[in-house]
Amino acid sequence: MRKVLGSLTAAVLVILLVSYGLWTGKRHVGHYLTDLRIQLVINDGQPGARGNLLGIQPELFPSDYSSVKRLHRKLASYLVQARDHGLLNDKTIVVLPEHIGTWLLAVDEKTQFYQATTLEEAMNWLAFSNPLLFIDAMIHARGSSRLEDAHLRMKARGMAQDYQNVFGGLAKEFGVTLVAGSIVLPSPQVENGELRIGRGALYNSSLVFGPDGVPLGQPQRQLFPGWNQRGYIRPGKDAPLNVIDTPAGRLATLIGSDSWYPDNYARLNASGVELIAVPAYVAGTGGWAEPWRSDKHEALAAHLNLGATPMTQGEAWRRLALTPASTAKAGISVFMRGQFWDQGSAGHSFASRDGQSVAEQSISATPKGVRPGHGARLINLWL
């Protein structure tokens, strides 16, 4: 009897394991793109031979990342509309928001993953659907928040390849220089024109692609990650500030809060930078209007010149980023829009010319069917 029971138990376990293996192999197939509409909210200056800085503030959702092809189609639709507005040329520098590449962890996942109601639930499905990748990632995780590290690390090799294929592909397809927002990867570097990952700590990094789709230089690491990411994203405090020659001028990228600190602008001034791209991200649907709290940021933030009057995060961003301390002739700060499960995002993209802020045009007369505050945005600055 014991042998019979043992055989039955083993058979049931085999059936369950085989069923689980077959289930993990089945992936979600999306058929419809989310809203493709986009508004031109800043178009400053006159078209000329020196090119332009073009920020694309996309509105993205988990389902947009269900496949690389799907994400490419949505972002390409924005660039097609920009081209229809006459905003693309061989000297155009397109800037995308922070973490637009990080969400590539959502590519080719289960239906339950996209239908989750919270980020925590989605990450549980991510681990459950990729058990071997998750176990390996947990073994190599760093920092105090090992679970968050593992979630970002487990698909890093595929994410790096998808990042280059999507954003390098867009740069080549439309013949532009493209600042591909940012992506969190372990010890990323470019080798022989290919983005590779290592086994080290996670860094929030940005890569620029030329009009031929090939990376320009090495990834720019974020020097000062957000306060809520320090348990799993390592600060790149010793990383250089890369300056890249582009058809429109010498370009530097400051990721997120790196754009607040005067020392960074002093370093870039010494390098002869002419253009600054700031891929940015503000968490929470109402995050832009929340009070600014220096104690939640890098210790250096306590010494920033913000005055004694309380201000919102949005006011602080406009005061600190792309300041007159920079000798660059132009800059643009581009934020993410959209909703990832219960995690919203906020931020109003803005530009700067010769240290002077370029205000957003009124969008009270929005296109028919587009609600104010929703949809993607174009921010253009002619050089």
Within the chain, residue ranges assigned H as helices are 2-25, 68-84, 111-114, 119-129, 131-140, 146-153, 156-163, 169-174, 262-270, 313-320
State residue 296's pLDDT score. 65
CA nearest 242: which of 225, 228, 226, 223? 223
Provide long-range contacts, Cβ within 8 A and 24+ apart, for 359-364: 359/42, 360/41, 360/42, 361/41, 361/42, 361/43, 363/39, 363/41
State residue 284's pLDDT score. 85
State residue 366's pLDDT score. 43
Residue by residue, pLDDT tens for the chain (383 residues) are: 555 445 554 444 444 444 444 444 554 555 556 678 899 999 999 999 999 999 999 999 999 999 999 999 999 999 999 999 999 999 999 999 999 999 999 999 999 999 999 999 999 999 999 999 999 999 999 989 999 999 999 999 999 999 999 999 999 999 999 999 999 999 999 999 999 999 999 999 999 999 999 999 999 999 999 888 889 999 988 899 999 999 999 999 999 999 999 999 999 999 999 999 999 999 888 888 998 876 666 667 666 777 777 789 899 899 889 987 899 999 999 999 999 999 988 889 999 998 888 877 544 344 444 444 578 999 999 99
State residue 4's pLDDT score. 47
- Domain 34-382 coded CATH 3.60.110.10: yes
Gap between the Cα atoms of 309 and 374, Å rounded: 30
Gap between the Cα atoms of 206 and 198, Å rounded: 16
- pTM of the entire predicted model: 0.89
Provide the 8-state DSSP code for 290: S
CA nearest 143: which of 230, 54, 26, 248? 230
Q: Domain map of the chain by residue range?
A: 34-382
State residue 316's pLDDT score. 87
State residue 20's pLDDT score. 44
Strand partners, 326: none
SS3 helix, strand, coil % of the chain, rounded to 5?
35, 25, 40
Gap between the Cα atoms of 205 and 220, Å rounded: 5
Gap between the Cα atoms of 117 and 298, Å rounded: 31
Rg (CA), the chain: 22
Full strand arrangement of the beta sheet holding 330-335: 243-246, 249-253, 275-280, 330-335, 350-353, 356-358
The residues, any chain, with a CB within 8 Å of residue 187's CB and separated by 6 or more, are 197, 198, 199, 200, 201, 203
